[in-house]
A and B are shown apart, each in its own frame.
Chain A
Amino acid sequence: MSAIGRLLWVVLAAATALFLIAPLLVVVPLSFSSDSFLEFPPPGLSLRWYEALWQSPFWRQAGLNTLIIGAAATAIASVLGTLAAIGLWLAPLPGRRAIFALILSPMIVPVIITAVALTFAFAPLGLAASHWGLILAHAALGAPFVVVTVLATLSGFDRTLLRAAAACGAGPVTAFRRVMLPLILPGVVSGAVFAFATSLDETVVVLFLGGPEQRTLPRQMFAGLKDTIELTILAAATVLIAASTVLLVAARLLAARSARLAGGAAR
């Protein structure tokens, strides 16, 4: 590559990166502003918006709801998604492709459609405006990520290991727990992180399905943006960004560790 080509390549890459993170470059510094206006650059620095965030019962409740719904939905999505992936991988089902497409559909169908459908489906069951309703909805949205990442890990999993475990006297459950799960854990963990991240910033379904009791952080931000433009929202956004970053890094490290333990056999 010529020097000019290389330069062009660097400039383009930098411009793309800048374009992608520019919003963050505005949001994060503004959340530390000492003023109450959306003014950039901020006239002074302070933690007043974080204090407001922390002290507001609305925001605290929203944070708690986000954590509860996210954690429960992630747990359900991880268990069901892992089982579904193993089932798809193991069984030579005739309708394998159709089932896979069905499981992935929440990823493909516009969220608004899912939200409307869930609202109609959940209302008669008494699941509208309830934590459980949101947990189940977010689990459905997150499970496809788990299925995809676990299936990817399974493609490197040697089936003979299950036979070897059986020949050693391990029943199916023991073989899963002691041989298969440790080896596909990187896939399960990254799937779970994606599922949690999905729940973390999901707004549409919450708007449709959640009642006042189920306000999550994105919902609260949405509401806040409509009512009063308060920089607390930016503080909340920064917290969300930080949480997502920590999650992604943690998932990376965990996956790398598992892969190393597995001797590189289950990438």
Chain B
Amino acid sequence: MTDPLVRFDRVAKSYDRATLVIPDLSFEVGRGEFLTLLGPSGSGKTTTLMMLAGFEAPDRGRILLEGRDIVGVPAHRRNIGVVFQSYALFPHLTVAQNVAFPLSVRGRPRAEIAERVARALAMVRLEGLGDRRPSQLSGGQQQRVALARALVFEPKLVLMDEPLGALDKQLRAELQAEIRRLHRELGVTIVYVTHDQEEALALSDRIAVFNEGRIRQIGPPQALYDHPRDPFVAGFIGENNRLEGEVVGRDEDGQLAVRLGGGAVVRAEPVDVAPATRRVLLSVRPERIALAHAEAEDLGADALAATVVETVFLGDHVRVRVRLADGGLVTVKRPAYALDARLKPGARVALAWSAEHAIAFAADGTEAARSPLAGHV
């Protein structure tokens, strides 16, 4: 990335001087980018954001903002806007005074403050509520005030720490749209923390997937979804079926032939699978699996036969849970309108997918064993 706005350079952080919550972290944030730090709780994403905000100090490494190391710069001199999950509005001040706070701290003239506060409140669609107190507003409105307060002083960088975590689903969708619009219109760089992968997919230019203090993969949402680089990312972003198998062949364009537990052989696209690897873990998205009603005699030797366990109707789609010959459970997602009425529990089905949608990770090494989702369907 040429001339990034933010650069983490080999940052390490420990809270107790014994265990490193972040062992060695390097990444960049481009100007105007919307980067989401996504991961389970305790993965180091919030710690990373707090170090960028200046509320925590790294033990080692540099954090560069526009090329300048800001590790020694206190939070209040960094000129970075922050939105908190708990809103953190000042309860003794009105909405307008809250939004005016960053400007009045900076000693801006009164007329300018009034004008910019009015503009910021209009920007988050809270015109006319300036005289209210935060306690008189709904959660969604309070978070809009917090957004206005973080943006009013026109920082180049705004950090958001699970800002929608305390809101219900519908409000969350509404505010996601609002945040996307603000990002688009203001051209501000946003670093966003969440554990909600759908939210990350909906908002981000790029997502950095965190686990155990490391970035497992960083890239555009679709790249992460379609081409996860390891089983953790495959399991954390979207839904995935995990099937264990053994490599029985490798063709000239690199695809693997993998024999599953029940004896069926399927083809898969390897990701970082060394030639000597025998055991692999297949990752297949539920919506990429085709399934057809089939009598046992119709199935060839290599077909993947299964028995329907249950079908769950979810409005727009149906989830079909099937059991493979080796006992493993697989979830298939089909559009509700295209569902075969014969797929009742106990029905025999054949499964199929195209090779590029089955991703094979090496299971010999420690990678899969270390993944917290190993063995998890």
* A-to-B contact residues, CB < 8 Å: 158, 160-161, 163-172, 174-175, 178-179, 182-183, 258, 261-266
Contact of A167 (CB < 8 Å), options: B81, B86, B106, B134: B81
Q: Which of B87-95, B170-178, B222-230, B280-288 contacts A (4 or more CB under 8 A)?
A: B87-95
B190 at the interface (CB under 8 A from A): no
B-side contacts of A167, CB under 8 Å? 53, 75-76, 80-82, 150
- 27 A/B residue pairs, CB under 8 Å, sorted by A: A158-B88, A163-B53, A163-B75, A163-B82, A163-B88, A164-B84, A164-B88, A164-B89, A164-B90, A164-B149, A165-B76, A166-B54, A166-B75, A167-B75, A167-B81, A168-B102, A169-B77, A169-B102, A170-B105, A171-B76, A174-B105, A179-B90, A182-B92, A262-B91, A263-B134, A263-B135, A265-B135
Of all chain B residues, the one with the shortest Cβ separation from A266 is B91
Q: Are A163 and B133 within 8 A (Cβ)? A: no
B-side contacts of A261, CB under 8 Å? 92
Of all chain B residues, the one with the shortest Cβ separation from A157 is B91
Q: Are A169 and B91 within 8 A (Cβ)? A: no
Q: Are B76 and A160 within 8 A (Cβ)? A: no
> Which of A165, A167, A175, A178 has the most C-beta atoms of chain B within 10 angstroms of its own C-beta?
A167
Of all chain B residues, the one with the shortest Cβ separation from A265 is B91
A-side contacts of B90, CB under 8 Å? 161, 164-165, 179
CB distance from A230 to the nearest CB of B (A): 50
Interface residues of B in 61-88 (CB under 8 A from A): 74-77, 79-82, 84, 86, 88
| With known contacts A163-B55, A164-B82, A174-B105, A263–B92 Cβ distance under 8 A | yes
A contacts with B: majority SS: helix
B-side contacts of A265, CB under 8 Å? 91-92, 135
B-side contacts of A175, CB under 8 Å? 76
B-side contacts of A263, CB under 8 Å? 91-92, 133-136
CB distance from A187 to the nearest CB of B (A): 14
Of all chain A residues, the one with the shortest Cβ separation from B90 is A179
CB distance from B224 to the nearest CB of A (A): 29
B353 at the interface (CB under 8 A from A): no
Of all chain A residues, the one with the shortest Cβ separation from B50 is A163
| Other 15 A-B pairs with CB < 8 A, given A164-B88, A167-B53, A263-B136 | A161-B88, A163-B55, A164-B82, A165-B101, A166-B55, A166-B74, A166-B75, A166-B76, A167-B82, A169-B102, A169-B106, A174-B105, A183-B91, A265-B92, A265-B135
